[in-house]
Structure 1
């Protein structure tokens, strides 16, 4: 099934759900549950909060399904916008901005304890640097590099122009690069 067929399938399920066919909405939930959960988990870094927000996202999507316009965006983009907005609301409510990415716990085959330590330290440093970015920069990076969204899709999710998305991504990469250069200049990792 190609990408266009996936969109048609989503739109068919939306129309069926709007007519009261719960199996159709269940199909949308099954299709997007993991994607929404992992986006929220990468933003919040708390599995229980990510589960709660995922559930809230689908409840909100169901209650506002009549507001979805297939001519304006793909269903997945519309759904991710709901998820991102819920996450932003959670940040505001709790006044916290958690690390973006969890440290990978899996070890590679034949990995020594020293190389595992260095790899974990690198991940932790990278996550810390991402935490230093403004929340909107991190969100744009997440959507671009974890969700593989286009600039237009990111703009739709974040409610900004594609030019703003491009600028945010550029600035975020520049800040990360500068931070890495500073760390290397001072001999830290």
Structure 2
């Protein structure tokens, strides 16, 4: 079923919208959740919570790209679950590993004053990403937004894992330099 029809079902409050969403995007959403959580039950919970949040937010929202809308919900819910369940001990998930890789580029301590600047930081990062090749961009976004493993990225780009690691390292290094040039203290 087409996305516009699924969104229309949500707007009509037709419960088949959830079934259609699960059929079309269930595996995609589970992959996002499991990359962050590395736990089947938690991932299933996150995906189910995504369906509930979509049900409660459509209407008033009418997303143009349903997959991105649902993916963003799943990602945020999964991160919240990860933080709640792993306060004392962080397991080695793709989420934890990818965050540690980005630690050299972006500080994880944010004061109240800095919160307003996060939007500007996101725009600056997007500007930098637009200077990269399409492959460089999708590699970076795959790793640090979708939390894909190095192996997954290598597979979908048809390159070696060492090349992916090297590309990500160079991209992080370039991002750090770019952010410093833009006035960010790292």
Residue 134 of structure 1, CA deviation:
4.4
Cα gap change, 1:77 to 1:67, in 2 (>3 Å): farther
Contact kept, 8 Å, 2:33 with 2:43, in 1: the verdict is yes
- Displacement, 1:31? 0.6
> How far, CA to CA, are the matches of 2:28 and 2:66 in structure 1?
13
1:20-39 matches, cutoff 5 A: 20-39=13-32
What residue is the counterpart of 2:79 in the other structure? 88
In the TM superposition, residue 174 of structure 1 has moved relative to its aligned partner by 2.3
Matched, 1:133 2:108: no
Change (3 A) 1:162 1:131: closer
Q: Once superposed, what is the RMSD of the aligned Cα atoms?
A: 3.6
Tell me, in whole angstroms, the C-alpha distance in 1 between the residues paired with 2:14 and 2:33: 27
Number of residue pairs matched by the alignment: 122
CA distance in 1, matches of 2:61, 2:48: 18
Mapped to 2, the partners of 1:131 and 1:88 lie a distance apart of 12
Partner residue of 1:62? 55
CA distance in 2, matches of 1:81, 1:92: 17
1:174 aligns with 2:174: no
**TM value normalised by structure 2:** 0.52
C-alpha displacement of 1:35: 0.6
Matches within 5 A, 1:31-180: 31-70=24-63, 73-94=64-85, 95=87, 97-101=90-94, 130=98, 132-134=100-102, 161=122, 163-165=124-126, 167=128, 169=140, 173-174=168-169
Cross-structure match for 1:181? none
* Partner residue in 1 for 2:5: 12
Distance 1:160 1:58, change over 3 A: farther
| Residue ranges of structure 2 left out of the alignment (5+ in a row) | 106-118, 130-139, 145-167, 174-186
Distance 1:20 1:131, change over 3 A: closer
